[in-house]
Amino acid sequence: MEIALIKGDGIGVDVSDAMMTIVDRALVRCAAPELAYTQIQAGAAYFKETGNDIEPGGEEKAGEADAIFLGAIGLPSIRHDNGTEISPHLRIRDRFGLYAGVRPIKAYPNSPQRLADPRAAAIDMVVLRESTEGLFYSAAAHGRSVIIGDSEVQDTLRITRATTEKLHHFAFKLAQKRKSRGKPGKVTCVDKANVFNSMAFFRKIFDEIAPQYPDIETGYNYVDAQALDLIRQPWEFDIMVMENMFGDILSDLAGGLVGGMGMAACAEIGDANAMFQPAHGSAPDIMGQDKANPLAAIMSGGLMLDYLAEKSGDESIRSAAVLIDQAVDTGFAENLLRPMEFGGDMGTLAITEALLSILQR
């Protein structure tokens, strides 16, 4: 199977290398087919060098692969003239319809617990972020913002029935999978349906689809109340489905509850393509210094294996995905993973080596 690999900028290089090391070892341990990586140049540094944000034909190559893995994109010192980031990954999401942004949020033992309530130690939920529409619709390509001289800008928020139906079906099917593994199996629709027509439409479609999944509990929350509840009672939620910008914000908030962005794995899945990436930034201040926490990238690699197993029907690949999850669980439970991000003494290489040792058990 072929993986289109975009290491990108900053620590994207470091964490991508760690991901490949762990994913490849897990596949060997499970006697699963190996992956072939085709590297594609893209990002802010490439833009500075060439004037292009991705190499010629790079998007096409990404679309032809079985999956795409992205390390990190963007550098604060390199922007477009209007101040926006270099972001070819937004265009890739848009081009290949990667509508389902899956952001797992899980607390691990011996990792920072930001909430004093002991129930916070059992946080295990998913922010499901629609990734092609919403307010980000204006950012993915030119012509979706209206700029009126130097006095006004209007960005378009778009919600379509076709994409929203697919997103809600994805949410309920994911809830069924989680329920079969002992999770609550509940989907909460997060919106602002009391104010915006777009959000009322989003909820209306949710209500049309929910009866097709009678085994799954449903709930509702306005986005501001959801932000409050993620601090007050995050253990009450399983899957939260929401618009793009809401998901961008709340997934970072939720990630902060379980340590930080170094634990924020992400899958962006469409009907025929998928991209996997840590949700953190490029952190150029620590690039190449062996300080980055690679766990978000490694766990994103696990999500990638789970997707490839679903796509191919190969259970040995799924076993490798499970093995990575178990290795991270074991590493924290036995205090073998102590990222510098959390005040620990382990950088990128040490964390990778620790996981390799666990995988050998």
Q: What is the domain-level CATH number for residue 282? A: 3.40.718.10
Closest CA to 124 of 235, 240, 230, 231: 235
At residue 144, does pLDDT exceed 80? no
The residue-averaged pLDDT of 265-276 equals: 98
Q: Residue 38: which of 92, 73, 74, 1 has the closest Cα?
A: 1
pLDDT at 141: 61
Query: 339, 351 in Cβ contact below 8 A?
Result: yes
Enumerate residues 6+ apart whose C-beta is below 8 A from 12.
6, 43, 70, 71, 72, 73, 282
- pLDDT digits 0-9 by tens, 2-58: 999 999 999 999 999 999 999 999 999 999 999 999 999 999 999 999 999 999 999
- What is the chain's alpha carbon radius of gyration, rounded to the nearest angstrom? 20
The pLDDT value recorded for residue 113 is 85
Burial call 173-207: b when 16+ CB within 10 Å, e when fewer? ebbeebbeeebbbbbbbbbbbeeeebbebbbebbe
Looking at the structure, do residues 49 and 164 belong to the same domain, yes or no? no
Backbone angles phi, psi at 299, to 5 degrees: -70, -30
Asked if pLDDT for residue 284 goes beyond 80, the answer is yes
Cα separations in angstroms, 36 against 67, 92, 283, 342: 11, 20, 27, 33
User: What mean pLDDT, rounded, does the chain reach?
Assistant: 95
Is 142 inside a domain boundary? Answer: yes
pLDDT at 287 > cutoff 70: yes
Residue 58 lies in a domain: yes
Q: Are 297 and 304 in contact (CB under 8 A)?
A: no
Residue 184 has pLDDT above 90, yes or no: yes
Listed residues 200, 224, 257: the one ending a domain? 257
CA of residue 145 relative to chain centroid, distance: 26
Q: Which residues are catalytic?
A: 137, 192, 224, 248, 252
Same domain, 66 and 170: no
| Residue 262 is assigned to a structural domain of this protein | no
Residue carrying the six token digits 């989680």:
178
Alpha-carbon gap, residue 295 to 22, rounded angstroms = 10
DSSP label of 183:
S
Confidence of residue 128 (pLDDT cuts 50, 70, 90): very high
Among the candidates 232, 257, 282, a domain finishes at: 257
Q: Please state, as a whole number, how many other Cβ atoms lie within 10 Å of the Cβ of residue 52.
A: 14
Q: How far is the first Cα of the chain from the last one, in angstroms, to the nearest whole number? A: 26
The DSSP element (H or E) to which 173 belongs, if any, is helix 161-180
Tens of pLDDT, residues 212-230: 999 999 999 999 999 999 9
Name which of 102, 133, 85 is nearest 264 in CA terms.
102
The two three-digit tokens of residue 12, written as one number: 């994207």
- Give the per-residue pLDDT at 143: 54
Same domain, 329 and 249: no
Does residue 68 form part of some domain? yes
pLDDT in tens, 65-117: 999 999 999 999 999 888 888 999 989 999 999 999 999 999 999 998 889 99
Q: Who wins on pLDDT, 138 or 319? A: 319
Give me the percent of the chain exceeding a pLDDT of 70: 99
Share of the chain above pLDDT 90, in %: 90
Domain assignment present for residue 104? The answer is: no
In the chain, the number of structural domains is: 2
107 lies in a domain? no
Range of the domain at 340: 1-99+271-361
